[in-house]
Amino acid sequence: MDLRFSVDRCTLLGAVLAVAINLLIITIFVVRIAGGSRVEHMIGGLLILLILPLVYLFISGFQLARQGIYFLWIGLMIAFLVVELVADYVLKIPFRQVKWQVVAYVMLFFGSTGGMIGVASLAGRGWTIAAITSFLIMGILAFVQRHITGM
C-alpha cells in the first residue's frame, strides 16, 4: 500500500466529512425551524452514521503519524455523535430543557464542529474556506433555531 496515497485519501475524507457534517446540521436546523421532526430525526440518523468514517480516520491517524491535535479534533466529533446517539436516540433524554446540560452540550457541539475545521484545513485552502463558511452558517442557524423553537 502506498503511504502517500493513504495520507491524501484520509486528508480528503476528513475534509469531505467536515463539510458534510456542517451541511447535515444546517439541514437539521432548517427542518427543525420548519417543524419537520420526523425528517430531522432521519437526517440526525445519517449524521450519527458518520461515526464510522470518523473512527476510520482516528485509527488511520496512528498509522499516518498525525499530530496530537488531529486526534482531539476527530475524538471530539466522535464524542459529540455518541452523545447525540445516546441522548436523542437511545435514552431520549430531554437535556435541552436543563440549562447546565444545554451549556455542556453547546460547548461540545461547537468544540467538535469547530475542530473539524482543523481537519478540513489539512486538505488545503478551498476545503478550509468551505468548512469555515458552512460552520458560520451552522452557528448562526443554531441560535436562530434555538430562538424560534426553544430546542
* pLDDT per residue as tens digits for the range 20-52: 999 999 999 999 999 988 999 999 999 999 999
Q: pLDDT band at 18, cuts 50/70/90?
A: very high
pLDDT at 36: 84
Largest CA distance in the chain: 51
Above 90 in pLDDT, residue 130? yes
What's the mean pLDDT when you consider all of the chain? 94
What span, in angstroms and rounded, lies between the C-alpha atoms of 29 and 43?
A: 10
Q: Tell me the pLDDT tens digit for each residue of 97-128.
A: 899 999 999 999 999 999 999 999 999 999 99
- How remote is the C-alpha of 140 from its chain's centroid? 15
What span, in angstroms and rounded, lies between the C-alpha atoms of 131 and 118?
A: 9
pLDDT at 2: 55
Above 90 in pLDDT, residue 5? no
The predicted model scores a pTM of: 0.93
Long-range contact set of residues 120-124: C-beta below 8 Å, sequence gap at least 24: 120/14, 120/15, 120/18, 120/19, 122/11, 122/14, 122/15, 122/70, 123/11, 123/12, 123/14, 123/15, 124/15
